[in-house]
A = this chain, B = another copy of it.
Amino acid sequence: MERKVVNIGVLGCGTVGCAVVMSLLKNRKALREKTGIDFVVSKVCDKDIKKRRLFPSHFTSSPDDIINVPEIDIVVELIGGTGVALDLIKKAIEGGKSVVTANKAAISEKGKEIFRLAEAKDVYIGFEASVAGAIPVIKTIRESFVGNSITKIFGILNGTTNYILTEMFHNSVNFSTALSSAKKLGYAEADPTLDIKGIDTAHKLSILSTLAFNRYIHWKDIYVEGIEKIEPLDITFTSEFGYRIKLLAVAKREGNNNLDIRVHPALLPSSHLLSFVGGVYNAIYLEGDMFGRSLLYGEGAGGPAAASAVISDIVDIGKKLMHKSMSQKTTTSEDKKLKILPMEEIDTRYYFRFTALDRPGVLAGIARVLGNYKISIASVIQKEESPEKAVPILMLTHRAKESSVRDAITEIDHLSFIKSPTVLLRVEE
């Protein structure tokens, strides 16, 4: 049998890049035994020449030493972002190379362009590491559940925010204390805006939904709310109601042609499996017409976890290259009929935190407005008088329409006894 070799060039030698290269070097023999293919690291590139000491015999600071070298079969892009990384991905594909990337921003924003270019050039794109680290959710949706019509995705896709919410729950600290602790432990970046505001989650949900629902979905088409507004009392009170608050990625097929897709903090029943996903872990809950209900749970970030997914893609592409197979079909004929449901049209249960003066008739006043909008109250807790004479009133509703809820809250927030804007969270079950 001829010797089967796949040559790999790695762009970016940060935490994930280093973990990928170290694993490929260390496990070369094991991978050869498992696959019959010799996976060889040809070059490792980083603009920081101080990284040379990590892999002196493989190092280069010029991407051209990877992109322009015909012998390199697979380019592993681990720089991130939609600037130079995106350029290099495109150049690699144009040069006939397959690409493995963890770049959620590039896939989420430019996936359509990247996949089409790859099909035209008959090369492969692996992006398992772009969503939920080591969790094989992309392969599961594309391959394991290929015979299914997927009807629902619930995801905890961001470790930073899940850590913060877990801290707030277990240690009764407020948002900023939990955020400081996340930063101290390296779970939050210096500027955690993309995480906190839910944008990172939206990037990932756009990728999963594109695959699951066969329609390109840009993250900007997804309604997004962050977790900044959550206060300890929301966590305490919702837990009294039997719920846990998670930053949830939601995508549900409604009827034939509507997609209810959004990212926001949501109340989940404390018995729901996703409620047990704590700390920096990620999980994806799926429903489909054949497999029923499924949950995938694991480490959503970190060098080795992401490297595990990158290597899985490298091996898959290596096998395909060896087999001289036909090009990858990432989405095929798109479902053009599928329409994203406007946020105003969603229908769910709601949690409200009203901040009102502690005086007679307040609850009646709120209830009257809700009744006018046909919003029915499921339960309510009014806590004791607080020193500043404004009290929180916590309420859970039955199912209602988002547009009615927004109108009702606007009207309630104009009532004289309401002292702060009402906080609104949605329930998923």
- Which A residues are closer than 8 A to B by beta carbons? 19, 23, 27, 30-31, 33-36, 128, 133-136, 139-140, 143-149, 214, 273, 276, 281, 283, 288-299, 302, 304-305, 307-309, 311-312, 315-316, 319-320, 322-326, 329, 332-333
The CB with the most chain B CB atoms within 10 A, among A30, A143, A325, is that of A143
> Which of B31, B36, B276, B315 is the one whose CB lies under 8 Å from A143?
B315
Q: For residue A322, which residues in chain B have a CB less than 8 angstroms away from its CB?
A: 325-326
Q: For residue A281, which residues in chain B have a CB less than 8 angstroms away from its CB?
A: 293
The answer to whether B291 and A143 have CB atoms under 8 Å apart is: no
| Nearest 8 A/B pairs, CB to CB | A323-B325, A147-B311, A136-B144, A134-B291, A290-B308, A294-B298, A295-B297, A290-B304
The answer to whether B294 and A332 have CB atoms under 8 Å apart is: no
State whether A140 and B136 are in contact (beta carbons under 8 Å apart), knowing that A273-B297, A289-B304 are contacts in the complex: yes
Residue of B nearest to A19 (CB): B290
CB distance from A243 to the nearest CB of B (A): 16
A311, B128: Cα distance in complex, Å: 22
7 more contacts with CB within 8 A, not counting A36-B332, A134-B290, are: A30-B149, A35-B146, A128-B144, A136-B143, A147-B308, A292-B299, A323-B323
CB distance from A223 to the nearest CB of B (A): 28
Residue of B nearest to A23 (CB): B147
Q: For residue A36, which residues in chain B have a CB less than 8 angstroms away from its CB?
A: 326, 329, 332
24 A-B pairs within 8 Å (CB atoms) are namely: A23-B290, A33-B333, A34-B329, A36-B326, A128-B144, A134-B290, A135-B294, A136-B136, A136-B139, A143-B315, A145-B312, A146-B311, A147-B308, A147-B311, A147-B312, A273-B273, A290-B308, A291-B308, A292-B298, A294-B298, A320-B323, A322-B326, A323-B324, A324-B324
